Amino acid sequence: MQQQNPLLCDPAEGVCEIPMGVAGKEVPVQDTEKPVTVIYFTDPICSSCWGIEPQLRKLKLEYGNAIDVEYRMGGLLPDWSYNSGGISKPSDVAHHWDEVSVYYDMPIDGDIWLEDPLASSYPPSIAFKAAQMQNKENAVLFLRMIREMVFLQKKNITRQEHLEAAAEKAGLDAAQLITAMSGHAKNLFEEDLRLAGAMGVRGFPTMFFIDASGNKEIVYGTKPYSFYETALLKLHPHAIKTEYNRNWEALFSKYASLTAKEFSVLSELPRAESETVLNALSTAGRLEMQTTKNGSIWSMKTSG
């Protein structure tokens, strides 16, 4: 039986789908002080997951007091033993990623699949688990950095030098991370794959919102912000929305880099206006802009 290549994501459904078995029902016991745990199944090279970064960042700003986001790796691309859906080799993904970039309005340069293609998403997934072993918050920064590397900088994030660079930038011990990748981190990744199967995950992003009693809401695929907010409020109706500072300096102090779509969602400026503001700040020397053929990303200007 032919399998759909998982890198052929469906923008309309907002999902990168994987061949999985029958949906399971296992819900892990939650160990958190927050009312709701969000178990987020993702993958470093999942383009649909890159597409929900604006919504996820806003959810953390508004409801970070009510949710604990638990990142799990799903294993999107074990290897290239697929031949269907028009994708049988890495170069077939290049045009698809360019199309997905336009659909989600998030910069992605598909040329990595022509210039330095990845053989698997497993090494960066295991690297993320190694990062979690050191520090969970820094691991989220690490994941963001390797995503920017693969989607915008056309860097093959299976390569050790890129993983080490991202680890150092995220405040992690790079040597320790590399060592853990061939040890316990691999076991943790395998645990994530088993849990994905037990919970019936069939694609990414998949988010399970779970309360202390085990009640759950599922948001499958890339959806508008209201879907995530609604899932949380169904389980925790008294969640209080945190007001946060929407000016550019406050947002960039919280998130080191922002795309125009992210800045629009977080600042609540119209999309066209958000890009105008960011370009003006870049021209004024307040922000640094990195441009790709499919959009840009901005970060705070570093001194020196």
Per-residue pLDDT of the chain (304 residues; tens, 9 = 90+): 345 566 778 887 888 877 554 445 566 655 668 999 999 999 999 999 999 999 999 999 999 999 999 999 999 999 887 654 556 788 889 999 999 999 999 999 999 999 999 999 999 999 999 999 999 999 999 999 999 999 999 999 999 999 999 999 999 999 999 999 999 999 999 999 999 999 999 999 999 999 999 999 999 999 999 999 999 999 999 999 999 999 999 999 999 999 999 999 999 999 999 999 999 999 999 999 999 999 999 999 876 4
Q: How is residue 42 written in tokens?
A: 């993702």
Helix (H) or strand (E) holding 290: strand 287-292
pLDDT value at residue 199:
96
Q: Is the pTM of this model over 0.85?
A: yes
Long-range contacts of 8-11 (CB under 8 A, 24+ apart): 8/85, 8/86, 8/87, 8/93, 8/96, 9/46, 9/47, 9/48, 9/96, 9/100, 11/48, 11/51, 11/99, 11/100, 11/103, 11/104, 11/222
Helix (H) or strand (E) holding 298: strand 295-300
User: Which residue ranges form the domains of the chain, and what is each CATH number?
Assistant: 24-198 (3.40.30.10), 248-300 (1.10.10.10)
pLDDT value at residue 17:
79
The three-state (H, E, C) secondary structure of 66-100, written as one string: CEEEEEEECCCCCCCCCCECCECCCHHHHHHHHHH
Nearest to 177 by CA among 124, 219, 213, 223: 124
Task: Report how far apart, in Å, the C-alpha atoms of 161 and of each of 72, 122, 167, 173 are.
Answer: 24, 16, 10, 13
pLDDT value at residue 2:
42
